[in-house]
Amino acid sequence: MRRCPNCKREIVEGSIFCEYCGFKLKRSKKPLWIVIVVVSLLIALVSVLLLVFGLRGNNSQTSPGPGYGAVETQSQNQYVLINANELRLRYGPSLESDMLKKPDGSQRFATRNEKFLYKGESSDFYKIEFYDGREFWVARKYAYCIQGSPGDDWDTERRIRGFVSDFSMMSEMASGTGSNLVHQLFAPKVERYHSSQNETVDQVAQHYAKYDSVFGVYGKHSKPRWNTLSYYKAGNRYIVTYIEDYTIDRYDNSKPSIFVLEKHFELNSDFKILSVYDNQLSKSTK
């Protein structure tokens, strides 16, 4: 029991006024150790909640790349479809990032209707997996991220798309540099190279090297229409067709320089060319 400090009589614990003399009483303070325990429990509870929700967040994304703020969401059920021509592939999610270059130093671009596996994104860029497995970035405003698989047999399709991309780049290059790529894209024995039969890869490279000087060409531009790409397997070979817009820069502007070509390839099981010929759909001058 508690005593009134004024009349010294016993009063009920917690009273505000003395029931005998009416003296106003001060409330007793709780012991300091109780306050410390309560505050400590509250701090521990908040820490646990922050840890739980932090772990949940880390399950859906990994740490952002340095300086990029990239969200590395991983999904095999999404792909990126390009919606622009001449879209540069970059090493990082910024306009200042170096462009993707082949060992020969040439720049690489993505073209309308090309598609790549989605690997993540930043505020302005999508992270993609290129055909050979390397990862690069494309600007989001020129591409779509689509839910679903990019193809029933993506492993085969990516190999064929990689071949078409490399062949188009080879077609654009100067004859000397392009001839080096011939050995990467053609089989050692070529059954048909346009009108020639049973060529070796070295003979195909010689044909290719002669082209520019014979026709007075100083520049070439190859643009596959990716929405026309089709392929199927016949035995141990792949039959590949697509339509290509092919433009050449001639010294003689009176000769045809704009072509629409239907490309036909037979590839072996290593995706190297056994046969190639073109069906010319149209031609015109600039």
Indicate the domain borders of the chain. 2-60, 78-147, 154-284
The confidence score (pLDDT) of residue 9 equals 79
Domains 78-147 and 154-284 belong to one CATH topology:
no
Residue 169's SS3 state is helix
Exposed, middle or buried: residue 161 (CB in 10 Å: 0-12, 13-18, 19+)? buried
What confidence tier does 264 reach under pLDDT thresholds 50, 70, 90?
very high
pLDDT higher than 60, residue 57: no
Give per-residue pLDDT as tens, 169-219.
Answer: 888 776 666 667 888 899 999 999 988 899 999 998 888 777 666 666 777
Residue type at 190? V
For residue 77, the 8-state DSSP code is S
Distance (Å) of CA 7 to CA 16, 17, 24, 29: 15, 12, 12, 21
More confident residue, 14 or 43: 43
Question: What share of the chain has pLDDT > 70, as a percent?
Answer: 75
pLDDT at 169: 84
Task: Give the CATH fold of the 78-147 domain.
Answer: SH3 type barrels. (2.30.30)
pLDDT at 10: 76
Q: What is the dihedral of CA 116, 121, 124, 129, to 10 degrees?
A: -30
CATH 3.40.50.300 fits 154-284, yes or no: no
Higher pLDDT, 60 or 281: 281
